[in-house]
Structure 1
Amino acid sequence: MSLVELIGQADERGLAASGLACLDRCVPLLGGDDEILRPLWAGLADDAGAAEWGERLEQVRGKLGGDGEFGADDGEPGLAGSGSGASSGSGDSHGSGEDEAVLLARRMLAAAPVERSAAGVRAWADACSVAALQIHRLLDPLKDAGDSVDARREGRTEGMSPLVAAELRRQITVLELLAGHGPAGLRPALEVSTEGRRVLRAVVSRRSRRRG
């Protein structure tokens, strides 16, 4: 089943976990520590956590400096620049790729719905999926041969670059875990996301050292 199909079939908890996992893996671009999103993860474990989602989200935005810097007029929920018309290769040596990746990560945070409704998190999860794949495409030192990340989400995976392929696998795995195990799938989904965050942090660190 393609990533697009999995998102289309996911329930509210699965969608929220999918969007949150995409954001979690991109935290290194926002300067956050590894625990910054844990309160939001914890709130997905039971239905009562939905009422506290908005408050916890605003706390995270305050800590990461994402409290309204990019609003609905700047791409939400589609996260302008992250769709099929976005830049197609890896970032250049002058850091413009990383600058765009940071912008996309900030828009992911800014676009998160304060109310954790099924409709709101579905749009956010879908936009985060595209943005996270585009971020990995921008930061991958090897060129992704596809025309767009949309093709990857639809199952056309020929010629994927390593970072994009790994991110696609993680997105699919998170949705499958939540679909198959419900709340019990949250812990392994968090582990998958933690692994991806470490990979992206290492990529960002290597790029920083090369610039230095």
Structure 2
Amino acid sequence: MSLVELIDQADERGLAVSGLACLDRCVPLLGGDDEILRPLWAGLAEDAGVAEWGERLEQVRGKLGGDGEFGAADGEPGQGSGSGSGSGSGSGEDEAVLLARRMLAAAPVDRSAAGVRAWADACSVAALQIHRLLDPLKDAGDSVDARREGRTEGMSPLVAAELRRQITVLELLAGHGPAGLRPALEVSTEGRRVLRAVVSRRSRRRG
């Protein structure tokens, strides 16, 4: 089953976890530590109410300085630079940071089913595009949309790994319900460590 199909079939919890996991893996671009999103993960595990989710989200935004939004004025995630790669050191990383900030800014405070569905879908595109921008090897596909639909020929390593993690998270929640949240967090933690290492290497090369 393709990533697009998994998102279409996911329930509210699965969508919230999917979006949060994408954001969590991209935290190194926002300057956050590994525990910055833990309150949001805990809220999903505890099945905390909508109000509590919103409060925790605003606290995270305050710590990370989240602002901006997904929008055509700044370029939709996955559009505009869909053919870009991570070969450049400046503009590619700048765009990756902007995409990560939009993911945080667009997180729905009310966590409604419609809101988390739109957010999870946008985060999926943005996270794949971030990994495409930062991958030192060029992804041969025309766009991340093709990857999400199951066309995986010629994927670069970082994009392939991110796609696999997104699929795994959704499968864990679909197959195990709340019990799938802990392994989903473990999958996301692994991805965050990988991206942090990539960002660190790029920083050393620039220095």
Confirm or deny a common fold (TM above 0.5): yes
Q: CA deviation at 1:61?
A: 0.2
Whether the aligned pair in 1 keeps the contact of 2:172 and 2:180 (CA below 8 Å) is yes
Would you say the 8 A contact 2:82–2:144 is kept in 1?
A: no
The CA deviation string for residues 4-36 of structure 1, in whole angstroms up to 9 with x for no partner, is 000000000000000000000000000000000
The alpha-carbon deviation at position 207 of structure 1 amounts to 0.3
Q: Is the 8 A contact 1:76 1:111 kept in 2?
A: no
Aligned-residue offset at 1:69: 7.4
Report the CA distance shift for 1:70/1:165 in structure 2 as closer, same or farther (over 3 A): closer
Cα distance in 1 between the residues matched to 2:104 and 2:72:
12
3-state SS of 1:44 partner:
helix
8 A Cα contact 2:87 2:135, kept in partner: no
The 1:17/1:85 distance shift into structure 2, 3 A limit, reads same
1:49 Cα deviation after fit: 3.7
Structure 1, unmatched stretches of 5+, are 78-82
Identity of matched residues, %: 94
- The 3 A distance-change label for structure 1 pair 84 and 188 is same
- Provide closer, same or farther for how the CA distance between residues 98 and 74 of structure 1 changes in structure 2, counting only shifts above 3 A: closer
1:145-193 deviation line (CA, Å, top 9, x unaligned): 0000000000000000000000000000000000011111000000000
Shift of 1:67: 4.5
| Alignment partners' CA distance in 2, 1:15 and 1:94 | 32
Q: Which residue of 2 aligns with 1:18?
A: 18
Q: In 2 relative to 1, CA 10–34 (structure 1 residues): closer, same or farther, beyond 3 Å?
A: same
Residue deviations 1:50-77 (CA, integer Å, cap 9, x gap)? 3311100000000000145778975689
Say if 1:74 and 1:144 are closer, same or farther in 2 by CA, change over 3 A: closer
Cα distance, 1:45 vs structure 2:
1.7
Structure 1 position 46, deviation (Å): 3.7
Q: 1:132 offset after TM fit, Å?
A: 0.1
Change (3 A) 1:48 1:94: closer
1:90 Cα deviation (Å)?
Answer: 1.5
The equivalences for 1:26-65 within 5 A come to 26-65=26-65
Between stretches 147-156 and 51-60, larger displacement belongs to 51-60
1:85–1:185 CA distance, 2 compared to 1 (3 A): same
| 8 Å Cα contact 2:68-2:101 kept in structure 1 | no
Q: 1:126 to 1:203 in 2, by over 3 A?
A: same
- Within 1, Cα distance between the matches of 2:178 and 2:38? 15
Change (3 A) 1:26 1:104: same
SS at match of 2:73: helix
TM score, norm. by length of structure 1: 0.92
2:34 is paired with a residue of what secondary structure? coil
- Alpha-carbon distance between aligned partners in 1 of 2:110 and 2:121, rounded to the nearest angstrom: 16
**TM-score, normalised relative to structure 2:** 0.94
User: Which one is further off, 26-35 or 37-46?
Assistant: 37-46
In 1: Cα distance, 2:18 partner to 2:138 partner: 25
Specify every segment of 5 or more residues in structure 2 that has no aligned partner in the other structure, as ranges.
Answer: none
Is the Cα–Cα contact under 8 Å of residues 136 and 167 in structure 1 kept in the other structure? yes
Structure 1 76/62 Cα, relative in aligned 2: closer, same or farther at 3 Å?
farther
Distance 2:58 2:182 in 1: 23
Superposition pairs of residues 158-169 of structure 1, within 5 angstroms: 158-169=153-164
1:117 deviation in Å? 0.7
Counting matched residue pairs gives: 207
CA shift, 1:47, in A, is: 3.3
